[in-house]
Amino acid sequence: MTWDDVLASGLTLPGMEASTSYGTPALKVRGRLVTRLRTEDDSLVLHGVPPDEREVLMAVDPRVFHVTPHYAGHPAVLARLAALEPERLWPFLVRRWREVAPRRAVAGFDAARVGE
């Protein structure tokens, strides 16, 4: 994947916007961070991932998922873009979007998906 692929996927969620965070490309909803690109290692910061889940992800697929000491104390995991598949990214984007998006947007999104 590339950052452009992340944008193409993320911007399909209601209210999602391209932005920046710490001087790097990011996706946000109403100013609240969903994910950002770590240019240091071309990884995405996937927020809202509890430590126990992060450990499982890293054990199952260490080529994609990792963590740096900075993120060890936070509910987040890093995902290497070059190894990340779009279908693996989508659930992380949706989960974090649900955490930060307005309730009305989430309800509308869920209602629209019922008919799919």
Give the start-to-end residue ranges of the domains of the chain: 3-104
In tens, the pLDDT along 3-50 reads 999 999 999 999 999 999 999 999 999 999 999 999 999 999 999 999
Report how far apart, in Å, the C-alpha atoms of 77 and of each of 1, 46, 92, 111, 116 are. Answer: 17, 5, 10, 30, 30
Q: What angle do CA 40, 29, 106 make, to 5 degrees?
A: 130
42: left (phi over 0), alpha (psi -120 to 50) or beta: left
pLDDT band for position 115 (cuts 50, 70, 90): low
For residue 116, pLDDT beyond 70: no
Mean pLDDT, residues 111-115: 77
CATH topology of domain 3-104: Aspartate Aminotransferase, domain 1 (3.90.1150)
